[in-house]
Amino acid sequence: MKKLDQPGTGSTTGLNGYCSVRSKLGKSDAKLRSAQDTVRNEMYYNPSQKLADKLGAQLDVTRTQLYDTTIQHGKGSDPDSASALDDALVFLIRESTKGSSGSTLKINGHNVDEIVWLNKFLEVRTAGLKNPHNKETQNEWLQSITRVKSYQCAVAQNQYKWGSSIDVLDNDGKATTGKC
């Protein structure tokens, strides 16, 4: 793989059959699965949960949404990253808010109900998906707004803590039950 990795080319020359081999190994090779899990955790899960911990997030819907955001937007410092979205929202928080989630975040010295924060974050994320700084991602990201709507659907149904299943929206925006 290192030999085939020519910086900046994006070339897939020499990778014929790679996907079928990878798929086959992914099902049977414990070392490959472990390596994939390690990379996933380092790139997406751990940074998302670090942000959730920094915020003091306690609810499954918030923590999972931050994981989803980190997968799509990345963990970096670019203007479309999960951290940049959070920073944009922190700037907007100007007062304490009450709610019924049972969880309070400390933002800019204000006590903010976690679901009030999450609803605002989902609005900021939707705006970022509709008008990203990186215009090359705009068409693709517009198609994934349903991911945000699914979290909004869960919140609207007061599904803050998750058990074995949850009512969500599928990629076409239709109600379905997801298994956790």
- Tell me which residues of the chain have a pLDDT lower than 50: none
Q: How far does the chain reach from its first CA to its final CA, in angstroms?
A: 34
- Report how far residue 157's alpha carbon sits from residue 31's, in angstroms, rounded to the nearest whole number: 40
Domain boundaries, the chain: 30-160
User: What span, in angstroms and rounded, lies between the C-alpha atoms of 110 and 113?
Assistant: 10
What are 63-115's pLDDT values in tens digits? 999 999 999 998 888 899 988 888 888 888 889 999 989 999 999 899 999 99
d(CA 84, CA 128): 10
Which residue from 80, 128, 94, 73 is spatially nearest to 65, judged by alpha carbons? 73
The phi, psi pair for 120, rounded to 5°, reads -65, -40
SS3 for 108?
A: coil
State pTM to two decimals: 0.80
Give domain 30-160's CATH number out of 1.20.141.10, 1.20.1440.230, 1.20.1630.10, 3.40.50.1000.
1.20.141.10
